[in-house]
Amino acid sequence: MPKTMTFDDLKIRVAEQTVDTVLACFVDMQGRLMGKRFHAVNFVETSFEETHCCNYLLATDLEMATPDGYASTSWETGYGDYVMKPDLATIRPVPWLEGTVMVLCDILDHHDHLPVPHSPRAILKKQIARLEALGFEAKMATELEFFLFAQTHDEIRKNGFRSLEPISGYNEDYHILQTTKEEGIMRPIRNHLFDAGLPIENTKGEAEAGQEELNIRYSAALDCADYHSIAKHAVKEIAWQNGHAASFLPKWHKDRVGSSSHVHQSLWKDGEPLFFDKSAKHGMSELMSHYMAGLIAYAPDYTYFLAPYINSYKRFSKGTFAPTKTVWSVDNRTAGFRLCGEGTKGVRVECRIGGSDLNPYLAQAVMLAAGIKGIEDKMELAPATTGDVYEDAKAADIPQTLRAAIVTLRDSAFLREALGDDVVDHYTRAGEWEQEEFDRTVTDWEIARGFERA
């Protein structure tokens, strides 16, 4: 297994002058890496203890706007500082950038040095701690799907995001010939990320022209989220270095399938998988049944964290492998939740609802919270569904719009208990702002449809 660097390793590299830059990063509400580039000497002498950032960075949107309505920060309170506290266990080389290493930071309150409750990493850590108090450890894995385009992000932006051309001309799902043509990008992605300490499994072509998938081996929940965010950032940078754009937009064209981020999950104790019971149906333990029951029952409550933007909901369309129903099945890709590894120690549940734009810390946290609720309340799991779930009229729907998901988030007593009112209100406001910004926008579709004919 690949390994990260220790702080002592970093000091040696700095003394040898093979490392001159330290990226001190934290994850924002959107799952992006934000932070500073330190001269490595300064970092190992002083800044390894802490640095600072503006508190608006956890109350902004994709455009880095400063919406009103947040209790945690505002113009009235003057936009003060947060503490960025480096987690020295996350130091790792960044092989695609010369002389550079990275460290992930936790966000703390500037005055009392306590974790900021709505920080994505803090939200996930809270649910991990709840799980540990029950005697369990979560193992999770996320799949990263994205599109590669023939041009760079800058070229595409200057062209008004029109006439987008994928890097390939046809569906490349599992296609070795077409993906060979893309190895100039994908091979560095695999190798650089492995050398950065991520347990990379593989890449493959996905079910559309120019669509790729990156798979990272299952790991402890916090590591999984860290790996996801680092990998997503690296994919964009390495594609840019090779003259192409990588996009994690879930649905970039109405006639193309979307990009997802499936999340696999199971519970363990002392190195043993607790979801497996060889004497039970499907090999599913009673614990797994309770966990899955909570996961499914509260899916409408937490859908916002799996689909946080207007575009996220364009992906939910039957016949595209993107689910529309909150039911489970055995190895059936039309359901929102799929039982994988039936009858083996690798038995696990895969949530297929999340899009490629999810924040892994938030998505994993709310699913763990739902699973914990299922365990605590000994919830009963309904029988598996079979056949084409898209056509199952009895199955409950996933919220089909951001507006609907905001309502289920705001009104969720379960999430308010698990995350806290302040956190739920914070992310409800984020969703509202996204909706308000879209509602103000006049789209190209509206103009073309009604300019002459309305």
Among residues 220, 306, 199, the alpha carbon closest in space to that of 262 is found at 306
pLDDT of residue 132: 96
pLDDT of residue 395: 74
* CA distance linking residue 239 with residue 175, whole number of Å: 20
Residue 1 has pLDDT above 70, yes or no: no
* Least confident piece of the model among 274-283, 363-372, 394-403, 424-433: 394-403
Taking only the tens place, the pLDDT of each residue in 134-192 is 999 999 999 999 999 999 999 999 999 988 999 999 998 999 999 999 999 999 999 99
Residue 250 has pLDDT above 70, yes or no: yes
pLDDT of residue 157: 94
* CA distance linking residue 264 with residue 221, whole number of Å: 10
Distances, alpha carbon 95 to alpha carbons 236, 371, 386, in Å: 14, 37, 46
Average per-residue pLDDT in the chain?
93
pLDDT of residue 439: 96
Q: Where are the domains of the chain?
A: 7-115, 127-445
Q: Is 46 exposed, middle or buried (0-12, 13-18, 19+ CB in 10 A)?
A: exposed
* CA distance linking residue 294 with residue 337, whole number of Å: 12
Contact indicator for 93, 195 with CB cutoff of 8 Å:
yes
* CA distance linking residue 71 with residue 339, whole number of Å: 40
Higher pLDDT: 296 or 389? It is 296
Contact indicator for 327, 385 with CB cutoff of 8 Å:
yes
* CA distance linking residue 247 with residue 235, whole number of Å: 9
φ/ψ of 362, rounded to 5, equals: -70, -45
Average pLDDT over residues 318-331: 79
Q: Angle CA(182)–CA(187)–CA(193) in degrees, nearest 5? A: 135
Q: Fold for 127-445, please state it.
A: Creatine Kinase; Chain A, domain 2 (3.30.590)
Write the DSSP string, 73-93.
--TTTT--EEEEEE-GGG-EE
* Predicted TM-score of the model (pTM): 0.95
Residue 200 has pLDDT above 60, yes or no: yes
293: helix, strand or coil: helix
Residue 251 has pLDDT above 80, yes or no: yes
CATH architecture of 7-115: Roll (3.10)
Structure confidence at residue 2 as a pLDDT band (50, 70, 90): low
Taking only the tens place, the pLDDT of each residue in 403-443 is 999 999 999 999 999 999 999 999 999 999 999 999 999 99
Structure confidence at residue 391 as a pLDDT band (50, 70, 90): confident
pLDDT of residue 335: 83
The 10 Å Cβ neighbour count of residue 243 is 12
Give me Rg for the CA atoms of the chain: 22
The percent of residues above 70 in pLDDT, for the chain, comes to 99
Locate tokens 């947040």: which residue? 70
The DSSP symbol for 251 reads -
Contact indicator for 323, 315 with CB cutoff of 8 Å:
no
Residue 79 has pLDDT above 90, yes or no: no
* CA distance linking residue 415 with residue 303, whole number of Å: 11
